[in-house]
Chains A and B, each alone.
Chain A
Amino acid sequence: DTGVSQNPRHKITKRGQNVTFRCDPISEHNRLYWYRQTLGQGPEFLTYFQNEAQLEKSRLLSDRFSAERPKGSFSTLEIQRTEQGDSAMYLCASSLGGWSEPGTDTQYFGPGTRLTVL
């Protein structure tokens, strides 16, 4: 069990550029979540995958944001035409799932990707 990993750990980009982040969940975890954390705040939910299906998206996820989880393994989060307001820590979490309902199992977090938009 190597834990949830995220890459890159830091990303600095200019406004208007596209960026993509990757999350590798704990193996055999079929649930994967993306959260955004701004300075001095708790994480806020962005989107949720069960296996390869994206089942829920927050209203925070504007049309510039897209997430995928091909084959139910790793996930990517892409932000197009970045804005300064996108600067934040982007956290990925995974949970085992299985027969349990969403919201009953424990989520384990990765180290996050810190995005700075200049």
Chain B
Amino acid sequence: AQTVTQSQPEMSVQEAETVTLSCTYDTSESNYYLFWYKQPPSRQMILVIRQEAYKQQNATENRFSVNFQKAAKSFSLKISDSQLGDTAMYFCAFTYPGGSQGNLIFGKGTKLSVKP
């Protein structure tokens, strides 16, 4: 069974600083996809970044980047130059091809507070 673990229930960071959110996963699949989603308070979940397991290069999206360590099954999210609007729940998620599902498997989330 696939599992996703986020070991940091809550984190805080000062505006303009850098913060790293941790995520580990467990799978026997060799081909899979990893995601970070952001869920602001009372707002909908939006995609932050996506990583294909077959790509060695770490994905980046503006101030957001990941550190993907396939052997260690680790997928951390780094947010640079944190902004107040980054305050949200962040979910790490996993999916893999094959079968008829394709559903996302989520971690429990990390609540990030960006302080002025």
- The reply to whether B44 and A43 contact each other, CB–CB distance below 8 Å, is no
- The reply to whether B100 and A106 contact each other, CB–CB distance below 8 Å, is no
Q: Which DSSP category, helix, strand, loop or mixed, fits chain B's interface? A: loop
Q: How large is the interface on A (under 10, 10 to 19, 20 to 34, 35 or more residues)?
A: 20 to 34
B95 at interface by CB-CB < 8 Å: yes
Sample (30) of A-B pairs whose CB atoms are under 8 Å apart: A35-B103, A35-B104, A42-B93, A42-B107, A43-B104, A45-B101, A45-B103, A45-B105, A55-B100, A56-B99, A56-B100, A56-B101, A56-B103, A91-B45, A95-B102, A101-B97, A101-B98, A102-B99, A102-B101, A102-B102, A103-B97, A103-B102, A104-B95, A106-B35, A107-B104, A109-B37, A109-B45, A109-B46, A110-B44, A112-B44
> Bound complex: CA of A55 vs CA of B104, how far in Å?
15
Q: How large is the interface on B (under 10, 10 to 19, 20 to 34, 35 or more residues)?
A: 20 to 34
Binding site for A on B (CB under 8 A): 4, 32-33, 35, 37, 43-47, 50, 91, 93, 95-109
